[in-house]
Chain A
């Protein structure tokens, strides 16, 4: 990948050259291996995972076989906790989630009325600003969870059933009410 090496100043404006919106220059010291891999798709993922890009509907029947969605948000090392449709995906499917994104995303979800999955999932990663340490915390957590048997995971899903339903219902409540509430305040 080619990173912008200088900026092009056009009159009073500044553009990255070559133009990009992606902030990928944060692993120069190579603390963690970020080499790209060959395209890969697990055979357990059988649906059209990218259908959201077409019409924003979801067609993920395979979702019911998984307990936790490891959401990889659009951005990771970024100054704002940007929430996109990716984080809404497990909420719509009543699944637990860990967000690989900028710090503060889980806190932002709490602010907006969603509930998350502590103590089963250690969510301290959300407050770690250093991107490498945050990644380490997430992968350590995934490693810890991987040691649970699938029966444990099923029991945990049941324990969080109310939380999952709350998130689903709250999302749909927001769909019907949030915009008007915000516009009324302007």
Chain B
């Protein structure tokens, strides 16, 4: 989710027409059309903006230089005649401008191009210590193990790491959890 701090800071500067998380619409962009239709204007004010959060992953076809979510987003804006300069794209995909430069016609690059914020660590809600949790100090005495890896949902790279640690007998050295809270069956 887009960080609330970002929404507040941008709201103070712009007239935010809608806040859209890409994951809410990327499996059916007609949902985005419905939302855009509600806020579309004949003439947009210079401060009107749509905030779009692109904070999850996108799907890339083999050798395709852009993700399908980005393709569909740009096409939806263009198809519904919404100026792309009303779009602020908040993302953790550092360097995504190159995709938009491919997807948006060149003649629009100078005056009708989205604002891209891709260089902010805190663009999404980020972790903080629990309310009653003390700052974790560098106390070398308490260190009892080399390392830890919390692998969460199964993914190819996580499966690979776990298999490699198993093959090399490293699970005594590195404590691992895999597939969340569940215990070994």
Say whether A associates with B: yes
Residues of A within 8 A of B (CB): 4, 7, 12-16, 19-27, 32-42, 44-45, 48-52, 56-59, 61-72, 74-85, 88-89, 92-95, 98, 100, 104, 108, 112, 131, 135, 138-139, 142-143, 145-146, 148, 150, 153-155, 157-158, 161, 164-165, 168, 171, 174-175, 178-180, 182-183, 186
Q: Quick check: A63 and B92 within 8 Å, CB to CB?
A: no
Q: Is the interface of A mostly helix, strand, loop or mixed?
A: mixed
Expressed in whole angstroms, the Cα–Cα distance for A176 and B85 within the complex equals 28
Residue B137, interface by CB 8 Å: yes
Instruction: For the complex of A and B, list the 10 residue pairs with the smallest distance between their C-beta atoms, beginning with the closest.
Output: A76-B157, A68-B147, A70-B149, A42-B175, A39-B182, A39-B179, A154-B140, A66-B148, A80-B93, A146-B173
Residue B107, interface by CB 8 Å: no
Contacting B177 at CB < 8 Å: which of A49, A67, A146, A161? A49
Expressed in whole angstroms, the Cα–Cα distance for A145 and B146 within the complex equals 8
Q: Which of B1-51 contact A (CB under 8 A)?
A: 3, 5-6, 9-10, 13, 23, 26-27, 29
Name the A residues within 8 Å of B92 (CB-CB).
80, 82-84
Q: Quick check: A23 and B145 within 8 Å, CB to CB?
A: no
15 A-B pairs with CB atoms under 8 Å apart are A13-B75, A14-B71, A15-B27, A21-B69, A34-B159, A39-B182, A57-B129, A58-B129, A65-B142, A82-B57, A92-B127, A108-B94, A142-B165, A154-B141, A171-B121
Expressed in whole angstroms, the Cα–Cα distance for A20 and B27 within the complex equals 8
Q: Quick check: B119 and A182 within 8 Å, CB to CB?
A: yes
Q: How many residues of B contact A (CB 8 A)?
A: 93
Contacting B68 at CB < 8 Å: which of A14, A41, A58, A178? A14
Which chain B residue shows the least CB distance to A13? B72
Q: Quick check: A39 and B128 within 8 Å, CB to CB?
A: no
Report the minimal beta-carbon distance from A171 to chain B, rounded to whole angstroms. Answer: 8
Report the minimal beta-carbon distance from A94 to chain B, rounded to whole angstroms. Answer: 5
Q: Quick check: B59 and A23 within 8 Å, CB to CB?
A: yes
Name the B residues within 8 Å of A20 (CB-CB).
59
Name the A residues within 8 Å of B148 (CB-CB).
44-45, 62-63, 66, 68-70
Q: Quick check: B177 and A41 within 8 Å, CB to CB?
A: yes
Name the A residues within 8 Å of B13 (CB-CB).
183, 186
